[in-house]
Amino acid sequence: MTGETDDIHASFSAEVRSVVIYQPFPGLSMSCPMNSQSIKNQSVRVETVSSDHDGQRLDNFLARHLKGVPKKAIYRMIRTGQVRINSGRCKPDRRVSTGDQVRIPPARIDAHGQVRVSDAVIRQVREAILFEDADYLVVDKPCGMAVHSGSHLPWGLIDAIRQGRPDKYVELAHRLDRETSGCLVLAKNGKALRHLSNLFRDGEVEKHYLCLMDGQLKEDRVTVDEALARSEDQEERKMEVHDEGKDSITRFRRLQLLRDSTYVEAELLTGRTHQIRAHAAHLGLPLAGDERYGTDSSLARWKKRGLRRLFLHSHHLGFTNAAGDHLTFNAPLPDSLRQVLLDLGA
């Protein structure tokens, strides 16, 4: 599996089951009844928190039980006291515990939010599985596929996996940018999710990426220890080095100097949004094909060389499971990225 957007576009065929109203990614089918009125859950219900959801944030717990309800509506329900835990008011970031009684009010569900991912996408994601046991699922995520819905994307990889495994517990343990391919780990039960969340929080997960810098990295190894904060530029979601940002550390290791670029392995010691991309840009060496942090002239030059995506791939992931076994996973560099390196003489 190459993980390339073009390959995905070729192999994912949309299976339209009713009126298709939006299709940002091949294979998506959004079904909408001919009657466009919203449907409504008619009564208050009380859900008992199972051990699988112990420690989960309330807003995420509700999103699982109110599929199709916008997040803004969920937050409004919590803020106005319609949602209760054990009869008490609560906040969105409250962690639920096993046995908690959560009051869930009636909610209007936009019929347009009923999303069905095509069987072709489900098969493609299934074929991308690198590893699976009773606790974990590791997938070689393709470039161009978001890990979850949001930002005008009605579905993500997690939705494809859940649809292919109805009534099974599967949760994301971390994220990859939509433009990034490679190793992504998911939890298959609440205990595994809590274990992974603690490992990621404490920096105990090995995260190595292959990337191509636009320009030459002069040193063999460079560590960027610069805090990152969201840019004040409201037009584009970007991160930038800022004294008041969150601690962020990336180690870059030069693999090969090329004629006007550098093939690099990047190790993440923290896990901030766009961390590798922002730190590379801070060095004056934005990643090849980066539409957010690179320049227009750089993008045009790389497109002429056949690069039509961000050159960033999560090739190695490692962690120790609850039983004390160290697990490592590797996703090969997609063929199209490999071809770019070959054309550069790597």
Tens digit of each residue's pLDDT (9 = 90 or more) over 284-322:
999 999 999 999 999 999 999 999 999 999 999 999 999
Domain 43-112: give its CATH code.
3.10.290.10
CA distance 336 to 309: 10
Do the beta carbons of residue 238 and residue 292 sit within 8 Å?
A: yes
* Predicted pLDDT at 161: 93
- 155: number of Cβ within 10 Å: 24
**Fold observed for domain 205-343:** Pseudouridine synthase (3.30.2350)
Identical fold, 43-112 and 205-343: no
**Phi, psi (deg, nearest 5) at residue 59:** -65, -40
Residue extents of the structural domains in the chain: 5-31+116-196, 43-112, 205-343
Parts of the chain with a pLDDT under 70:
1-42, 68, 108-115, 150-152, 233-235
* Predicted pLDDT at 30: 33
Return the exposure string of 312-337: e unless at least 16 CB atoms fall within 10 Å of the residue's CB, then b.
bbbbbbebeeeeeeebebebebbebb
Respond yes or no: is residue 59 known to be catalytic. no
Q: Which CATH architecture has domain 5-31+116-196?
A: 2-Layer Sandwich (3.30)
Cα–Cα distances in Å, from 272 out to 36, 112, 263?
40, 32, 22
* Predicted pLDDT at 40: 44
Do the beta carbons of residue 199 and residue 309 sit within 8 Å?
A: no
Alpha helix positions (H), 258-295 = 275-282
Q: By three-state DSSP, how is residue 77 classified? A: helix
Q: Give the closest residue to 144 by CA, choosing from 167, 128, 165, 132.
A: 128
The two structure tokens encoding residue 76: 């409004």
* Predicted pLDDT at 36: 33
The two structure tokens encoding residue 155: 């579905």
**Burial category of 267 from C-beta neighbours within 10 Å (exposed 0-12, middle 13-18, buried 19 and up):** middle
Catalytic member of 100, 140, 177, 214: 177
Alpha helix positions (H), 27-118 = 58-65, 71-79
* Predicted pLDDT at 240: 92
